[in-house]
Amino acid sequence: MTRSLAADDAAELIRRAYEVGPPRPRPLPHAPPGWRVQEQAAGGTVAGRLLGKSALVTGAARGIGRATAELFASEGARLVLSDRDGPGLAQLREALALTPGGVESVVGDVAEPADARRMIETAVRRYGRLDVLVANAGIIPFGNVLEATPESWDQVMAVDGRGMFLTCKYAIEAMLATGGGAIVCLSSISGLAGQRNQAAYGPAKFVASGLTKHLAIEWAGHGIRVNAVAPGTIKTDRVRLLGEEPGGASYLDAIRRMHPMGRLGEPVEVAQAILFLASDEASFITGAILPVDGGYLAQ
Ligand code: RM4
């Protein structure tokens, strides 16, 4: 039987792929696309999807922010972690003290321009650049429009809305100076669809979705990607506390059943999606809002 050259080549490639030999360090060009590999002075290589990248995670002390910080550390990122909760942040910094890339922390409020600026400047001062922003800091007030007050509206818009705007603004300024970067905003299923009892929080999450799309278009030509994740209900401390608020337990039971997978999500399941969007694996993705919701938004 005559075989074409291409088939012979394929057979040879397959034979080589199955060749059993002694373990060798993986040569650099064979790292999967999107992975960053570094040769170690002591020999061998280390790999990580964020190796050498400088990343700021806001609202890092708990929940999805904390899971993201931990995952980023294990992928070789050089971290700046921020939160209003000083003791919580100090505890996380302690837990991540051995992160090879380094860890800085900034206690501050994303809604305050000076604080937001300080978060970005810390990355630039310590690592010379900011490659990744995870705009995660947010609060979740519950209540329908009759219960919501002008103050609670202003508060959630200040943290979830203006805080995201400010951190994106200063991050983009810094990223432009070093040739680009990636931003991941925390939207929500409530930033793409309506829900009861979220008259102020829900609209604030629509701001996150809107900001993501508009900034993605604005900076697509400058090497800056802007994406978002839209988590469903995730087992964070905030959601656990919600169970203790009036009507909270029945809300949680009902919302669990509204997720087609029949369960709530884990913070690390959101962190994995954030990692993907922040990494070079997502190099052709911008303006996307990725649901991480057990199928909630597919209904
Ligand atoms: C999420 C979403 C969920 C809600 C949590 C607390 O962003 O709105 O449905 O359960 O917040």
233 lines ligand 1 (CB under 6 A): yes
Across the range 49-65, mean pLDDT stands at 97
**124: helix, strand or coil:** helix
In the predicted model, is pLDDT for residue 22 greater than 60? no
For ligand 1, atom 10: residue with the closest CA:
233
> 240 alpha carbon to ligand 1 midpoint, in Å?
12
- At 132-172, the pLDDT tens digits run 999 999 999 999 999 999 999 999 999 999 999 999 999 99
pLDDT for the residue 31: 56
Tokens 């990607």 correspond to 225
Phi, psi of 161 (to 5 degrees): -90, -70
* 122-to-99, 125, 180 alpha-carbon distances in Å: 17, 5, 18
- Do residues 185 and 228 lie in contact, with contact meaning Cβ atoms separated by under 8 Å? yes
Asked whether residue 32 carries a pLDDT value surpassing 70, the answer given is no
pLDDT tier, 28 (very low <50, low <70, confident <90, very high otherwise)? very low
What pLDDT was estimated at residue 9?
59
- Which tokens is 125 given? 């001062």
Of 127, 201, 251, 296, which residue is the catalytic one? 201
Q: Evaluate if residue 18 carries a pLDDT over 70.
A: no
Give me the mean pLDDT over the 28-50 stretch. Answer: 67
pLDDT at position 24 is 37
84 Cβ neighbours under 8 A, 6+ residues apart: 107, 108, 109, 137
Range scoring the smallest mean pLDDT among 22-26, 59-63, 152-156, 248-252:
22-26
255-292 b/e (C-beta count within 10 Å ≥ 16 → b)? beebbeeeebbebebbbebbbbbbbeebeeebebbbbb
CA distances from 41 to 38, 44, 78, 298 (A): 10, 8, 19, 49
Going by alpha carbons, the residue nearest to atom 5 of ligand 1 is 233
Write out pLDDT tens, residues 213-251.
999 999 999 999 999 999 999 999 999 999 998 889 999
Query: Is residue 99 in contact with ligand 1, taking CB distance under 6 Å?
Result: no
Q: What does the pLDDT read at residue 36?
A: 72
Nearest CA to ligand 1 atom 3: 233
Average pLDDT over residues 57-81: 97
Confidence (pLDDT) at 17: 43
- Residue 201 annotated in active site: yes
Please indicate whether residue 204, judged by its CB atom, sits closer than 6 Å to ligand 1.
no
Q: Is 239 in the pocket of ligand 1 (CB under 6 A)?
A: yes
**pLDDT given for residue 47 in this prediction:** 75
State if residue 148 touches ligand 1 by the CB under 6 angstroms criterion: no
Beta strands in 43-191 (DSSP E): 45-48, 54-58, 78-83, 103-107, 132-135, 181-186
Ligand 1: does its nearest atom lie under 6 Å from the Cβ of 270? no
pTM of the model: 0.88
Judge whether residue 19 has pLDDT over 50.
no
Report the length, in residues, of the chain.
Answer: 299
Domains and CATH numbers, the chain: 47-233+267-292 (3.40.50.720)
The residue nearest atom 4 of ligand 1, judged by CA position, is 233
**What is the per-residue pLDDT for 269?**
98
Pocket test for ligand 1, best of 160, 190, 244 (most atoms within 8 A of CB): 190
Taking alpha carbons only, the member of 59, 56, 65, 110 closest to residue 85 is: 59
**Distance between Cα 295 and ligand 1 center (Å):** 14
187 close to ligand 1 (CB < 6 Angstrom): no
Residue 15 has a pLDDT of 47
End-to-end CA distance of the chain: 53
Ligand 1 center to 26 CA (angstroms): 43
User: Is residue 190 in contact with ligand 1, taking CB distance under 6 Å?
Assistant: yes
| Residue predicted with more confidence, 122 or 245 | 122
